[in-house]
Amino acid sequence: MGDRPKRITRRKVLADSGKAAAATAAASVMGWVEIGNPARAAAASPSGEVGTATGGKNAFEYVGQVDQDGDDLTSYGYLSAIAGLDVSQLFTSDTHDETTARITYYGTAALYARVEFNGLFIIDADGSVQYYFLPNGGASFDDPSSFKSGTLIAGDTAKFHDVLSVTAPDTGMPYLTAALRRTKAIPFVMDGVTYRFGHVGLLERSTATGLSTRLDPKPTSKLTLGGDAVVTGHG
Protein backbone atom coordinates (compact mmCIF):
# COMPACT_ATOMS: atom_id res chain seq x y z
CA MET A 1 0.00 0.00 0.00
CA GLY A 2 9.99 2.89 -2.80
CA ASP A 3 11.80 4.79 -0.60
CA ARG A 4 9.86 5.87 2.45
CA PRO A 5 10.37 9.25 4.06
CA LYS A 6 11.54 9.67 7.61
CA ARG A 7 9.06 8.65 10.26
CA ILE A 8 6.10 10.88 10.77
CA THR A 9 5.14 12.15 14.20
CA ARG A 10 1.88 13.65 15.43
CA ARG A 11 1.24 15.54 18.61
CA LYS A 12 -2.52 15.21 18.45
CA VAL A 13 -5.06 12.79 16.96
CA LEU A 14 -8.77 12.29 17.10
CA ALA A 15 -11.08 11.37 20.00
CA ASP A 16 -14.31 11.81 21.94
CA SER A 17 -16.18 15.03 21.14
CA GLY A 18 -19.79 16.29 21.31
CA LYS A 19 -22.25 15.16 18.71
CA ALA A 20 -19.72 12.89 17.02
CA ALA A 21 -19.46 10.89 20.23
CA ALA A 22 -23.22 10.40 20.32
CA ALA A 23 -23.30 9.41 16.66
CA THR A 24 -20.56 6.86 17.07
CA ALA A 25 -22.14 5.43 20.21
CA ALA A 26 -25.36 5.00 18.26
CA ALA A 27 -23.45 3.27 15.48
CA SER A 28 -21.99 0.79 17.96
CA VAL A 29 -25.42 -0.07 19.32
CA MET A 30 -27.24 -0.24 15.97
CA GLY A 31 -24.50 -1.95 14.01
CA TRP A 32 -24.66 0.42 11.04
CA VAL A 33 -23.98 4.01 10.15
CA GLU A 34 -25.83 6.10 7.58
CA ILE A 35 -23.62 8.60 5.78
CA GLY A 36 -25.37 9.85 2.66
CA ASN A 37 -27.67 7.32 1.01
CA PRO A 38 -27.95 4.01 2.87
CA ALA A 39 -27.36 0.76 1.05
CA ARG A 40 -30.63 -0.94 0.20
CA ALA A 41 -31.47 -4.62 -0.15
CA ALA A 42 -32.05 -4.69 -3.90
CA ALA A 43 -31.95 -8.04 -5.66
CA ALA A 44 -28.51 -9.35 -6.51
CA SER A 45 -27.49 -9.25 -10.17
CA PRO A 46 -28.03 -12.40 -12.28
CA SER A 47 -24.35 -13.22 -11.73
CA GLY A 48 -24.85 -13.06 -7.96
CA GLU A 49 -22.79 -9.89 -7.71
CA VAL A 50 -23.52 -7.65 -4.72
CA GLY A 51 -22.07 -4.41 -3.39
CA THR A 52 -22.17 -2.57 -6.73
CA ALA A 53 -25.08 -0.14 -6.38
CA THR A 54 -25.04 2.74 -8.87
CA GLY A 55 -26.56 6.22 -9.06
CA GLY A 56 -24.81 7.47 -5.95
CA LYS A 57 -26.36 4.83 -3.68
CA ASN A 58 -24.12 3.24 -1.08
CA ALA A 59 -22.45 0.05 -2.29
CA PHE A 60 -21.66 -0.93 1.29
CA GLU A 61 -21.42 0.51 4.82
CA TYR A 62 -19.07 -0.43 7.62
CA VAL A 63 -18.10 0.02 11.27
CA GLY A 64 -14.54 -0.43 12.45
CA GLN A 65 -11.35 0.71 14.08
CA VAL A 66 -7.92 1.90 12.96
CA ASP A 67 -4.83 1.35 15.11
CA GLN A 68 -1.82 3.59 14.48
CA ASP A 69 1.71 2.64 15.50
CA GLY A 70 4.00 5.35 14.19
CA ASP A 71 3.71 5.30 10.39
CA ASP A 72 1.87 1.97 10.33
CA LEU A 73 -1.92 1.68 10.27
CA THR A 74 -4.07 -1.42 10.81
CA SER A 75 -7.79 -1.26 10.06
CA TYR A 76 -10.44 -3.86 10.88
CA GLY A 77 -14.19 -4.09 11.27
CA TYR A 78 -17.37 -5.40 9.69
CA LEU A 79 -19.75 -4.56 6.88
CA SER A 80 -23.12 -3.46 8.24
CA ALA A 81 -24.90 -3.08 4.89
CA ILE A 82 -24.23 -4.36 1.35
CA ALA A 83 -26.34 -3.40 -1.66
CA GLY A 84 -28.03 -6.55 -2.96
CA LEU A 85 -28.22 -8.27 0.44
CA ASP A 86 -30.72 -7.87 3.23
CA VAL A 87 -29.19 -6.67 6.48
CA SER A 88 -30.48 -9.86 8.17
CA GLN A 89 -28.14 -11.87 5.95
CA LEU A 90 -25.13 -10.02 7.29
CA PHE A 91 -25.54 -11.05 10.93
CA THR A 92 -26.13 -14.32 12.73
CA SER A 93 -28.79 -12.89 15.07
CA ASP A 94 -30.88 -9.80 15.76
CA THR A 95 -27.88 -8.36 17.60
CA HIS A 96 -25.93 -6.41 15.00
CA ASP A 97 -22.32 -5.96 16.09
CA GLU A 98 -18.86 -7.36 15.42
CA THR A 99 -19.58 -10.62 17.26
CA THR A 100 -22.46 -11.53 14.90
CA ALA A 101 -21.14 -10.00 11.66
CA ARG A 102 -20.64 -12.41 8.76
CA ILE A 103 -18.65 -10.11 6.43
CA THR A 104 -15.54 -8.52 7.96
CA TYR A 105 -12.50 -6.64 6.72
CA TYR A 106 -8.84 -6.27 7.69
CA GLY A 107 -6.30 -3.93 6.12
CA THR A 108 -2.89 -2.35 6.52
CA ALA A 109 -1.41 0.91 5.27
CA ALA A 110 1.71 3.07 5.64
CA LEU A 111 1.75 6.85 6.04
CA TYR A 112 3.84 8.67 3.43
CA ALA A 113 2.85 12.34 3.74
CA ARG A 114 1.76 14.71 6.48
CA VAL A 115 0.93 18.43 6.62
CA GLU A 116 0.09 20.37 9.77
CA PHE A 117 -1.76 23.68 9.49
CA ASN A 118 -3.81 25.67 12.02
CA GLY A 119 -4.97 22.68 14.05
CA LEU A 120 -5.41 20.42 11.01
CA PHE A 121 -3.36 17.31 10.34
CA ILE A 122 -3.60 16.24 6.68
CA ILE A 123 -2.30 12.72 6.17
CA ASP A 124 -1.92 10.36 3.18
CA ALA A 125 -1.30 6.60 3.21
CA ASP A 126 -1.13 3.66 0.80
CA GLY A 127 -2.38 0.20 1.68
CA SER A 128 -4.78 -2.62 1.02
CA VAL A 129 -8.00 -4.05 2.46
CA GLN A 130 -9.20 -7.67 2.45
CA TYR A 131 -12.78 -8.85 3.04
CA TYR A 132 -13.73 -12.12 4.73
CA PHE A 133 -16.80 -14.34 5.12
CA LEU A 134 -17.40 -15.67 8.64
CA PRO A 135 -20.61 -17.74 8.34
CA ASN A 136 -20.94 -18.06 12.11
CA GLY A 137 -19.62 -14.61 13.09
CA GLY A 138 -17.31 -14.47 16.08
CA ALA A 139 -15.02 -11.47 15.52
CA SER A 140 -14.00 -9.26 18.45
CA PHE A 141 -12.48 -5.79 18.61
CA ASP A 142 -10.34 -7.14 21.45
CA ASP A 143 -8.63 -9.40 18.88
CA PRO A 144 -7.98 -7.59 15.57
CA SER A 145 -6.79 -10.80 13.89
CA SER A 146 -10.26 -12.31 14.40
CA PHE A 147 -11.54 -10.07 11.58
CA LYS A 148 -9.40 -12.03 9.09
CA SER A 149 -10.20 -15.49 10.45
CA GLY A 150 -12.84 -16.26 7.81
CA THR A 151 -12.67 -17.15 4.12
CA LEU A 152 -11.14 -14.48 1.89
CA ILE A 153 -13.80 -13.22 -0.56
CA ALA A 154 -12.36 -9.94 -1.94
CA GLY A 155 -9.44 -7.53 -1.79
CA ASP A 156 -8.79 -3.87 -2.64
CA THR A 157 -5.82 -1.62 -3.05
CA ALA A 158 -6.45 1.59 -1.10
CA LYS A 159 -5.17 5.16 -1.15
CA PHE A 160 -6.19 7.03 2.00
CA HIS A 161 -6.51 10.77 2.64
CA ASP A 162 -7.40 11.97 6.14
CA VAL A 163 -8.07 15.51 7.39
CA LEU A 164 -7.96 15.59 11.21
CA SER A 165 -9.42 18.58 13.03
CA VAL A 166 -7.94 18.94 16.51
CA THR A 167 -10.58 19.79 19.12
CA ALA A 168 -8.51 19.44 22.33
CA PRO A 169 -5.12 18.07 23.37
CA ASP A 170 -4.84 14.52 22.00
CA THR A 171 -8.42 14.63 20.69
CA GLY A 172 -10.23 15.67 17.55
CA MET A 173 -12.34 14.60 14.57
CA PRO A 174 -11.27 13.05 11.22
CA TYR A 175 -12.69 13.09 7.74
CA LEU A 176 -11.28 10.05 5.97
CA THR A 177 -11.57 9.23 2.28
CA ALA A 178 -10.20 6.24 0.39
CA ALA A 179 -9.89 5.37 -3.29
CA LEU A 180 -10.48 1.62 -3.57
CA ARG A 181 -9.74 -0.69 -6.49
CA ARG A 182 -10.93 -4.32 -6.36
CA THR A 183 -8.11 -6.76 -7.05
CA LYS A 184 -9.83 -9.96 -5.91
CA ALA A 185 -13.48 -11.05 -6.04
CA ILE A 186 -13.94 -14.70 -5.10
CA PRO A 187 -17.41 -16.32 -5.20
CA PHE A 188 -18.70 -17.52 -1.84
CA VAL A 189 -21.77 -19.44 -0.73
CA MET A 190 -24.07 -17.95 1.90
CA ASP A 191 -27.27 -19.73 2.93
CA GLY A 192 -27.03 -21.97 -0.14
CA VAL A 193 -26.71 -19.09 -2.63
CA THR A 194 -23.50 -18.12 -4.45
CA TYR A 195 -22.52 -14.44 -4.32
CA ARG A 196 -19.57 -12.34 -5.38
CA PHE A 197 -18.63 -9.07 -3.66
CA GLY A 198 -18.04 -6.82 -6.65
CA HIS A 199 -15.62 -7.71 -9.46
CA VAL A 200 -11.97 -7.24 -10.30
CA GLY A 201 -11.39 -3.68 -11.48
CA LEU A 202 -14.33 -2.17 -9.55
CA LEU A 203 -13.53 1.36 -8.38
CA GLU A 204 -15.10 2.82 -5.24
CA ARG A 205 -14.75 5.87 -3.03
CA SER A 206 -15.13 5.41 0.70
CA THR A 207 -15.78 8.15 3.25
CA ALA A 208 -15.80 7.86 7.04
CA THR A 209 -15.74 9.85 10.23
CA GLY A 210 -15.39 8.98 13.88
CA LEU A 211 -13.41 9.46 17.06
CA SER A 212 -9.80 8.78 18.03
CA THR A 213 -7.49 8.96 21.01
CA ARG A 214 -3.72 9.34 21.08
CA LEU A 215 -2.37 6.78 23.52
CA ASP A 216 1.26 7.97 23.60
CA PRO A 217 3.51 10.49 21.81
CA LYS A 218 5.00 7.92 19.35
CA PRO A 219 2.20 8.35 18.25
CA THR A 220 0.12 5.34 19.12
CA SER A 221 -3.59 5.94 18.63
CA LYS A 222 -6.94 4.22 18.13
CA LEU A 223 -9.70 5.47 15.85
CA THR A 224 -13.31 4.25 15.94
CA LEU A 225 -15.26 5.04 12.79
CA GLY A 226 -18.26 4.41 10.61
CA GLY A 227 -18.46 4.95 6.86
CA ASP A 228 -19.68 3.93 3.43
CA ALA A 229 -18.49 3.43 -0.13
CA VAL A 230 -19.97 4.34 -3.52
CA VAL A 231 -19.05 2.99 -6.95
CA THR A 232 -17.04 5.43 -9.08
CA GLY A 233 -16.12 3.22 -12.04
CA HIS A 234 -15.67 -0.26 -13.46
CA GLY A 235 -12.52 -1.90 -14.76
Which pLDDT does position 149 carry in this prediction?
Answer: 97
Does 68 have pLDDT greater than 60?
yes
Which pLDDT does position 46 carry in this prediction?
Answer: 65
Quickly state the pLDDT bin for 105 (edges 50, 70, 90): very high
Which pLDDT does position 232 carry in this prediction?
Answer: 96
**What is the 3-class SS of the chain, one letter each residue?**
CCCCCCCCCCCCCCCCCHHHHHHHHHHHHHCCCCCCCCCCCCCCCCCCEECCCCCCCCCEEEEEEEEEECCEEEEEEEEEEECCCCHHHHECCCCCCCCCECEEEEEEEEEEEEEEECCEEEEEEEEEEEEEECCCCCCECCEHHHHHCCEEEEEEEEEEEEEEEEEECCEEEEEEEEEEEEEEECCEEECCEEEEECCCCCEEEEEEEEEEEEEECCCEEEEEEEEEEEEEECC
Which pLDDT does position 133 carry in this prediction?
Answer: 98
